[in-house]
A and B are shown apart, each in its own frame.
Chain A
Amino acid sequence: MAILNKEQAQQLLKKVLSYSKADECEINISGSEGGNIRYARNAVSTSGGVSQNSLVVSSAFGKKLGVATINEFDDASLEKVVRRSEELAQLAPENPEYVSFLGPQVYKESATYVPATGAIDPKFRADAVATSLKIAKDNKLVAAGFMQNSSGYSAMMNSHGLFAYNKSSNVDFNVTLRTEDGKGSGYASKGFNDVNKLDVASATKFAAGKATGSATAKALEPGKYTVILEPAASIVLLENMFFAMDARQADEGRSFLSKGDGKTKLGEKLVDDKVTIYSDPQHPEIPTSTWNGDGRPQEKINWINKGVIENLYYSRYWAEKKKVKAVPSPDGIIMEGTNASLEDLIKGTEKGILVTRLWYIRSVDPQTLLLTGLTRDGTFYIENGQIKFPVKNFRFNESPIIMLNNLDALGKPERCVSGESGISALIPPMRIRDFTFSSLSDAV
Chain B
Amino acid sequence: MNRKDFLRNTAFGAGAFMIPRSMLHATPIEIQAALNGGMDVATKKILADVALAAAKAKGATYTDVRIGRYLNQFVVTRETRVQNVANTESFGVGIRVIANGSWGFASSNNVTKEGVAKTAERAVAVAKANAKILDAPVQLAPQKGYGEVSWKTPIEKNAFEVPVKEKVELLLAANAVAMKGGVNFVNSAILAVNEQKYFASSDGSYIDQDIHRMFPNFNLTKIDVATGKFESIKSLSSPVGMGYEYLNADPSEKLGGVVTRYKNRYDMMEDIANATEGVKQKIKAKSVEPGKYDLILDPSHLMLTIHESVAHPTELDRVLGYEANYAGTSFLSLEKLHSNKFNFGSKLVNIVADKLQYGSLGAVGYDDEGVGTKKWDIIKDGILVNFQAIRDQAHMLGMKESHGCCYAQSWNDVQFQRMPNVSLQPGKEKLSVDDMIKNVEKGIYIIGDGSFSIDQQRYNFQFGGQSFYEVKNGKIVGMLKDVAYQSNTQEFWNSCAAIADESDYRMGGAFNDGKGQPGQSNAVSHGSSTTRFNGVNVINTARKI
A residues whose Cβ falls under 8 Å from a Cβ of B = 36, 38, 40-41, 43-48, 50, 52, 54, 67-71, 84, 87-88, 92-93, 95-97, 122, 126, 130, 142, 144-146, 148, 172, 174-176, 178, 182, 187, 239, 242-246, 249, 252-256, 258-261, 270, 313, 315, 329-330, 359-370, 372-374, 376, 393, 395, 397, 399, 401-402, 420-423, 438-444
Q: In the complex the two chains form, is B462's CB within 8 Å of A372's CB? A: yes
Given contacts A360-B454, A370-B543, 17 further A-B contacts (CB under 8 A): A38-B517, A48-B105, A69-B27, A93-B85, A144-B325, A178-B324, A258-B228, A260-B223, A260-B226, A359-B455, A360-B453, A365-B541, A368-B545, A422-B1, A439-B486, A442-B331, A442-B457
Which residue of chain B has the shortest Cβ distance to A361 in the bound complex? Answer: B453
Complex interface: chain B residues within 8 A of A40 (CB): 321-325
**Contact check: which of A71, A244, A366, A444 meets B109 at CB < 8 Å?**
A71
Complex interface: chain B residues within 8 A of A70 (CB): 27
**Contact check: which of B14, B109, B321 meets A255 at CB < 8 Å?**
B14
Q: In the complex the two chains form, is A330's CB within 8 Å of B545's CB? A: no
Q: How far is the CA of A249 from the CA of B12 in the complex (A)?
A: 12
Q: How far is the CA of A21 from the CA of B496 in the complex (A)?
A: 66
Q: In the complex the two chains form, is B133's CB within 8 Å of A44's CB? A: yes
Contact mask B157-191 → A, CB, 8 Å, 1/0? Answer: 00000000000100000000000000011000000
**Contact check: which of A175, A362, A367 meets B453 at CB < 8 Å?**
A362
B residues whose Cβ falls under 8 Å from a Cβ of A = 1-5, 10-15, 25, 27-28, 30, 81-82, 85-86, 103, 105-106, 109, 126, 129-130, 133-135, 168, 184-185, 221, 223-230, 320-326, 329, 331, 414, 451-460, 462, 464, 482, 484, 486, 488, 517-518, 537, 539, 541-545
Complex interface: chain A residues within 8 A of B230 (CB): 253-254, 258, 367
Q: In the complex the two chains form, is A395's CB within 8 Å of B460's CB? A: yes
A159 to chain B, nearest CB (A): 20
Complex interface: chain A residues within 8 A of B129 (CB): 47, 122
A392 to chain B, nearest CB (A): 10
Q: In the complex the two chains form, is A443's CB within 8 Å of B457's CB? A: yes
- With most chain B CB atoms within 10 A of its CB, the pick from A52, A402, A441 is A441
Q: How far is the CA of A243 from the CA of B13 in the complex (A)?
A: 5
Complex interface: chain B residues within 8 A of A402 (CB): 543, 545
Q: Using A46-B414, A144-B325 as known contacts, say yes or no to A372 and B453 having CB atoms under 8 A apart.
A: yes
Q: In the complex the two chains form, is A360's CB within 8 Å of B321's CB? A: no
Tell me if B's interface is mostly helix, strand, loop or mixed: loop
Q: In the complex the two chains form, is B325's CB within 8 Å of A175's CB? A: yes
Q: How far is the CA of A280 from the CA of B207 in the complex (A)?
A: 53
Q: Using A243-B12, A364-B484 as known contacts, say yes or no to A261 and B225 having CB atoms under 8 A apart.
A: yes
**Contact check: which of B12, B25, B109, B323 meets A329 at CB < 8 Å?**
B12
Complex interface: chain B residues within 8 A of A44 (CB): 130, 133-134
A26 to chain B, nearest CB (A): 15
Q: How far is the CA of A433 from the CA of B395 in the complex (A)?
A: 51
Q: Give 12 CB contacts A-B under 8 Å.
A: A41-B322, A44-B134, A68-B28, A260-B226, A261-B228, A367-B230, A393-B460, A395-B460, A395-B462, A395-B486, A397-B539, A442-B488
Q: How far is the CA of A187 from the CA of B326 in the complex (A)?
A: 10
Q: How far is the CA of A367 from the CA of B544 in the complex (A)?
A: 9
Q: Using A48-B126, A145-B325, A242-B12 as known contacts, say yes or no to A438 and B1 having CB atoms under 8 A apart.
A: no
Complex interface: chain B residues within 8 A of A252 (CB): 184-185
Considering the complex of A and B, which 6 residue pairs feature the smallest CB-CB distances, nearest first? A260-B228, A329-B12, A441-B460, A443-B455, A421-B10, A144-B324
Q: In the complex the two chains form, is B456's CB within 8 Å of A443's CB? A: yes
Q: In the complex the two chains form, is A41's CB within 8 Å of B320's CB? A: yes
Complex interface: chain B residues within 8 A of A182 (CB): 329
Q: In the complex the two chains form, is B456's CB within 8 Å of A359's CB? A: yes
Q: How far is the CA of A373 from the CA of B105 in the complex (A)?
A: 35
- With most chain A CB atoms within 10 A of its CB, the pick from B11, B323, B455, B539 is B455
Complex interface: chain A residues within 8 A of B13 (CB): 243, 246, 249, 313, 315, 329
Complex interface: chain B residues within 8 A of A420 (CB): 2-3, 10
- With most chain A CB atoms within 10 A of its CB, the pick from B82, B323, B451 is B451
Complex interface: chain A residues within 8 A of B28 (CB): 67-69, 88
Q: In the complex the two chains form, is B15's CB within 8 Å of A399's CB? A: no
Which residue of chain A has the shortest Cβ distance to B81 in the bound complex? Answer: A96
Which residue of chain A has the shortest Cβ distance to B88 in the bound complex? Answer: A69
Complex interface: chain A residues within 8 A of B27 (CB): 54, 69-71
Q: In the complex the two chains form, is B228's CB within 8 Å of A146's CB? A: no
Complex interface: chain B residues within 8 A of A245 (CB): 12
B544 to chain A, nearest CB (A): 7
Q: Using A438-B539, A444-B457 as known contacts, say yes or no to A146 and B10 having CB atoms under 8 A apart.
A: no
A36 to chain B, nearest CB (A): 6
Which residue of chain A has the shortest Cβ distance to B519 in the bound complex? Answer: A422
Which residue of chain A has the shortest Cβ distance to B487 in the bound complex? Answer: A439
Complex interface: chain A residues within 8 A of B322 (CB): 40-41, 45, 144
Q: In the complex the two chains form, is A443's CB within 8 Å of B452's CB? A: no
Q: Using A176-B324, A176-B325, A260-B225 as known contacts, say yes or no to A362 and B452 having CB atoms under 8 A apart.
A: yes
B231 to chain A, nearest CB (A): 9
Q: In the complex the two chains form, is B85's CB within 8 Å of A92's CB? A: yes
Complex interface: chain A residues within 8 A of B543 (CB): 365, 368, 370, 399, 402
A334 to chain B, nearest CB (A): 15
Q: How far is the CA of A330 from the CA of B322 in the complex (A)?
A: 35
**Contact check: which of A43, A92, A253, A442 meets B135 at CB < 8 Å?**
A43
Q: How far is the CA of A71 from the CA of B27 in the complex (A)?
A: 9
Q: How far is the CA of A46 from the CA of B129 in the complex (A)?
A: 11
Complex interface: chain B residues within 8 A of A374 (CB): 453, 455-456, 460
Complex interface: chain B residues within 8 A of A46 (CB): 103, 105, 414
Complex interface: chain B residues within 8 A of A45 (CB): 322
Q: How far is the CA of A246 from the CA of B185 in the complex (A)?
A: 16
Complex interface: chain A residues within 8 A of B168 (CB): 93
Q: How far is the CA of A243 from the CA of B185 in the complex (A)?
A: 20
Complex interface: chain A residues within 8 A of B537 (CB): 439
Which residue of chain A has the shortest Cβ distance to B330 in the bound complex? Answer: A443
B505 to chain A, nearest CB (A): 28
Which residue of chain B has the shortest Cβ distance to A263 in the bound complex? Answer: B228
**Contact check: which of A71, A313, A442 meets B460 at CB < 8 Å?**
A442
**Contact check: which of B227, B456, B464 meets A260 at CB < 8 Å?**
B227
Q: In the complex the two chains form, is A360's CB within 8 Å of B455's CB? A: yes
Q: In the complex the two chains form, is A142's CB within 8 Å of B321's CB? A: yes
Complex interface: chain B residues within 8 A of A176 (CB): 324-325
Q: How far is the CA of A203 from the CA of B147 in the complex (A)?
A: 50
A122 to chain B, nearest CB (A): 7
**Contact check: which of B1, B82, B185, B542 meets A365 at CB < 8 Å?**
B542
Q: Using A70-B27, A88-B28 as known contacts, say yes or no to A422 and B10 having CB atoms under 8 A apart.
A: yes
Q: In the complex the two chains form, is A421's CB within 8 Å of B3's CB? A: yes
Q: How far is the CA of A146 from the CA of B323 in the complex (A)?
A: 11
Complex interface: chain A residues within 8 A of B488 (CB): 442
Complex interface: chain A residues within 8 A of B453 (CB): 360-362, 372-374, 395
Which residue of chain A has the shortest Cβ distance to B13 in the bound complex? Answer: A246
Q: In the complex the two chains form, is B2's CB within 8 Å of A421's CB? A: yes
Q: Using A88-B30, A122-B129, A254-B230 as known contacts, say yes or no to A441 and B541 having CB atoms under 8 A apart.
A: no
Q: How far is the CA of A336 from the CA of B414 in the complex (A)?
A: 42
Q: In the complex the two chains form, is B518's CB within 8 Å of A36's CB? A: yes
Q: How far is the CA of A243 from the CA of B8 in the complex (A)?
A: 12
Q: How far is the CA of A364 from the CA of B541 in the complex (A)?
A: 7
Q: How far is the CA of A64 from the CA of B227 in the complex (A)?
A: 39
A7 to chain B, nearest CB (A): 27
Q: In the complex the two chains form, is A146's CB within 8 Å of B517's CB? A: yes
**Contact check: which of B81, B414, B455, B486 meets A48 at CB < 8 Å?**
B414
A217 to chain B, nearest CB (A): 13
Complex interface: chain A residues within 8 A of B459 (CB): 441-443
**Contact check: which of A187, A360, A367, A423 meets B4 at CB < 8 Å?**
A360
B459 to chain A, nearest CB (A): 4
Q: How far is the CA of A148 from the CA of B517 in the complex (A)?
A: 9
